[in-house]
Structure 1
Amino acid sequence: MTGDARKRAEGLTYLHGFGNEHSSEAVPGALPEGRNAPQRAPLGLYAEQLSGTAFTEPRAHNRRSWLYRIRPSAAHPAFRRTDNGALRTAPFAESVPDPNRLRWDPMPEPAPGTDFLAGLWTLGGNGDATQRTGMAVHLYHANASMERVFSDADGELLIVPERGGLLLHTELGALHAEPGHVALIPRGVRFRVELLDSLARGYVCENYGAPFRLPDLGPIGANGLAGVRDFRAPVAAYEDVEGPVEVVNKFCGNLWTATYDHSPLDVVAWHGNHVPYVYDLRRFNVIGSISYDHPDPSIFTVLTSPSDTPGLAGVDFVVFAPRWLVGEDTFRPPYFHRNVMSEYMGLVEGAYDAKSAGKGGFVPGGGSLHNMMSAHGPDRETFERASTAELKPQKVDDGLAFMFETRWPVTLTPHAADADHLQRRYDDVWQGLQRHFRPLH
């Protein structure tokens, strides 16, 4: 990685709000004034609009950016099919949805030379990418930087690093994402992943539906949860590279490849709101109870992709960030529950307060799936400890967990259902929960 690229990635601009207009230029004068596509764009550039939503969607929800680039995206050869590897896309018709509670250890080590794209491994998902509904859960494990460029026409990619830093070279500039951050690559934006360490591992939510946005705050008021000003967009940077570059496009579930005679990351200036961004999860302003009871996990929502039913998300991204627990006469860990939503949970670091860690437990890089109406909650060890703990104020700051919560069941891929790192005895964590019922009469 060049020092200039690292410096640009660390000089990100604040996004200042979802749906608002933003702009950046790598060369002064590259952005035209007054017209998006003048008869002749400045500096001999080509004007191009990238639309992430339909032209006629409401202004508050419309996503598009104008790009001023060295060559138009239309200047490329034909694409041809290439191998999908372990990457799969909805509809997930090879398996049936599984009502069982499931948990996986971290993924095994990748083969030498595995880049981010080759290291993508699909756990499962729902909906239909061709209908722009639903989502998929992927994991990645890589030990090499990408030389090729990738774009996803099926959905946006929310990347959650768990091990190793990433430098995401996008059409609109570079994003620097470390464990504890999340990065979002919008639908159709081309990018390349450079590893900042020898190994990178993490999670990806591929959202086929409406773009992620901040949730409404309702009675919380004007402040709280994820702050608008903490989301950062890249500053413009471009590659003026002549020579063969492989470009891979994910389209309707399959990978297609073409060899360009130039780098497609050649945007010199841009303005709009269909932009990549990065967010530091430790900046999340946790809202919780200061009297009694554990609040529903919806209070931890960072981003939401709304569905056609008000209040019902296609997918929510939820984080369990550092926070104080002060509830009195309260079972403080997450309670036993069954939920109409389906939950995939991952762990970035440390331990989760409702699950035991260690060998065979819930550990960083692993994940669990509780499909809709599956009964789950604290394991036996956690329940017994929390039921008798002294309820003094407690700081929970030794872990960072997250959840992809979705309206539909997550159907597993065959390779996830049969994976060697699937924990075959996950149900055992609830064994030994004793009968304590004692009738008064």
Structure 2
Amino acid sequence: MAPAEPIPFTGATATGAFTTTPSPTDPYIYQTGFGNRFASEALPGVLPIGCNTPQRCKYDLISEQLNGTPFVSLRASLLHAWFYRIQPSVAHKSLRRHRPNPDLEAVFTPGNADVVFTPQDHSWAAFPFPPNDEAVDFVDGLKTIAGNGDPAAKEGLVVHVYLANKSMDRRAFCNNDGDMLILPQEGRLDIQTEFGKLMVSPGELVVIQAGMKFSVKLPDGVGRGYVQEVFGCHYELPELGPVGSNGMAQPRDFETPVASFDVDQSEWTVVVKLVGKLFAYEQGHTPFDVVAWHGNYAPYKYELGRFINSATVDRDQSDPSIYCVLTTKSKVPGVSTADFLVFTPKWQVSRNTFRPPYYHRNVCTELMGMVCGKWALSSLPEPGGLTYEPSYMPHGESYDLWKQATTADLVPLRVGEEAIAFMMHIPSHVSLTRYALERCGMAFVQTSWGV
């Protein structure tokens, strides 16, 4: 063993907060931690001391607050951020209706003829990119697959895919309906937000909360991925319980942008989504002019490969909730609106155990997809596609796989190499859209057990 590298000196003191180091695929730096109260300045000395709204901010900047929770909330749940920006957000022209996106849905009640509640399971092959002769950016490329509830009541969620081949050009998006968990499957997303910039690659997720403006560029020319949007709640780390203080997603592995601003007085369009409808307004300056900010309501990203699996080491199976990365609370104590689970490479070592996912009828609806690689147990789903297992309906692997699993020698086995799968675990009924069932051309009914 080579001798350890000696510490170059002792008695030193840190001169700044920790930030990450840029890489060949990600030129940006980030602050680390989940739920922290961050403070970031692109120019030194901008953040006021001892107050949020001084009579006059440095450089004549404008102070502006963004709330993620009502003013009167429990201190532990308060979410907000203070911006110090060149122009206030209120400096814009009149709002107008934006051209509709026919594949976007938000209200998932039986009275909506464009959504269907069905107990039949479904699968989708990889959703296709737009034709080369059609320029589609992230906003125009949103296609709703499933959902429940209603953003007007701030209850429920929606699942989209995005299919894009064009960067957003002097165009920003602001979703007033809910928080968006975005999961790229093909092509990086170069996302500029009011808080700073994030580069999000396949194998990472990014959360952009309600009311935040952002713009998406496609450095690889195309973008395909998944979006889970929750109404009236925010993503949290799940409780660890008997797992203890270590394991699953670690708070220090979440990354939040540092302040970064542009000086740009060209014409910009801001598209706003409200109850699934699109509106727009123009303004004569960039929305990304925040010189400094502080608070705990900020976007963040997470690399799924850093998830720490807590696997069974003797016999029987752990429930899939052990793979939960993020969760969102519902109005029912102890019940989530949705859990986001990830399946990364792991060892299988259990004895006297049926190792594939056990056959079950789950109160939760399951939407599952692949980011990369191959699902170890069957051909579904394929990367860029999706599967849907509705509430209470039976599902499981095929007869051939059952027979193999019940007769195999149970030796230690490495599974899922170079593969990342995810599941949206939703404790309620979920409806499918007409786009998902009829217009996308990728849907087919699943079969199992050789039927």
Q: What TM-score, normalized by structure 2, do the two folds share?
A: 0.90
* Cα separation, 2, equivalents of 1:185 and 1:364: 23
* Cα separation, 2, equivalents of 1:349 and 1:265: 33
Q: Residues 8 and 96 of structure 1: is their aligned pair in 2 closer, same or farther, counting only changes over 3 Å?
A: closer
What is the aligned partner in structure 1 of residue 316 from structure 2?
293
Q: Is the 8 A contact 1:15 1:22 kept in 2?
A: no
RMSD, aligned CA: 1.7
1:413 matched to 2:426: no
What is the aligned partner in structure 2 of residue 49 from structure 1?
65
SS of the equivalent of 2:314 reads coil
The correspondence of residues 62-77 of structure 1 with structure 2, limited to 5 A, is 62-77=78-93
Superposed displacement of residue 362, structure 1: 1.9
* Cα separation, 1, equivalents of 2:445 and 2:66: 48
Superposed displacement of residue 9, structure 1: 5.8
Q: Is the 8 A contact 2:116 2:433 kept in 1?
A: no
1:280 matched to 2:278: no
What is the aligned partner in structure 2 of residue 390 from structure 1?
409
SS of the equivalent of 2:356 reads coil
Q: Residues 8 and 364 of structure 1: is their aligned pair in 2 closer, same or farther, counting only changes over 3 Å?
A: closer
1:40 matched to 2:56: yes
What is the aligned partner in structure 1 of residue 154 from structure 2?
132
What is the aligned partner in structure 2 of residue 15 from structure 1?
32
What is the aligned partner in structure 2 of residue 437 from structure 1?
none
* Cα separation, 1, equivalents of 2:250 and 2:105: 33
What is the aligned partner in structure 2 of residue 438 from structure 1?
none
The correspondence of residues 239-258 of structure 1 with structure 2, limited to 5 A, is 239-258=262-281
Give the counterpart letter for 1:214 in structure 2.
Answer: L
Q: Is the 8 A contact 1:64 1:273 kept in 2?
A: yes
Superposed displacement of residue 423, structure 1: 3.9
Q: Is the 8 A contact 1:149 1:248 kept in 2?
A: yes
Superposed displacement of residue 420, structure 1: 4.8
Deviates more, 1:71-80 or 1:384-393: 384-393
Superposed displacement of residue 413, structure 1: 1.1
Q: Residues 328 and 277 of structure 1: is their aligned pair in 2 closer, same or farther, counting only changes over 3 Å?
A: same
Q: Residues 130 and 240 of structure 1: is their aligned pair in 2 closer, same or farther, counting only changes over 3 Å?
A: same
* Cα separation, 1, equivalents of 2:449 and 2:268: 52
Superposed displacement of residue 253, structure 1: 1.6
* Cα separation, 2, equivalents of 1:228 and 1:205: 21
Q: Which runs of 5+ in 2 are unaligned?
A: 1-21
1:430 matched to 2:449: yes
SS of the equivalent of 1:305 reads strand
Superposed displacement of residue 425, structure 1: 4.1
1:262 matched to 2:282: no
Q: Residues 345 and 8 of structure 1: is their aligned pair in 2 closer, same or farther, counting only changes over 3 Å?
A: closer
What is the aligned partner in structure 1 of residue 13 from structure 2?
none
What is the aligned partner in structure 2 of residue 202 from structure 1?
225
Report Cα offsets for 1:30-71 as digits up to 9, x if no partner.
211111111111221100110011112212221100011111
SS of the equivalent of 1:285 reads coil
Q: Is the 8 A contact 1:341 1:406 kept in 2?
A: yes
Give the counterpart letter for 1:409 in structure 2.
Answer: H
Q: Is the 8 A contact 2:188 2:223 kept in 1?
A: yes
The size of the alignment, in residue pairs, is: 422
What is the aligned partner in structure 2 of residue 121 from structure 1?
143
Q: Residues 391 and 6 of structure 1: is their aligned pair in 2 closer, same or farther, counting only changes over 3 Å?
A: closer
Q: Is the 8 A contact 2:142 2:163 kept in 1?
A: yes
Q: Which runs of 5+ in 1 are unaligned?
A: 433-441
Determine what percentage of the aligned residue pairs are the same residue: 41
Q: Is the 8 A contact 1:127 1:135 kept in 2?
A: yes
Report Cα offsets for 1:378-417 as digits up to 9, x if no partner.
2334323322222111112242110111122111111212
Of 77, 81, 106 in structure 1, the residue corresponding to residue 126 of structure 2 is 106
The correspondence of residues 297-316 of structure 1 with structure 2, limited to 5 A, is 297-316=320-339
* Cα separation, 2, equivalents of 1:423 and 1:61: 40
* Cα separation, 2, equivalents of 1:221 and 1:393: 25
Give the counterpart letter for 1:40 in structure 2.
Answer: R
* Cα separation, 2, equivalents of 1:386 and 1:197: 41
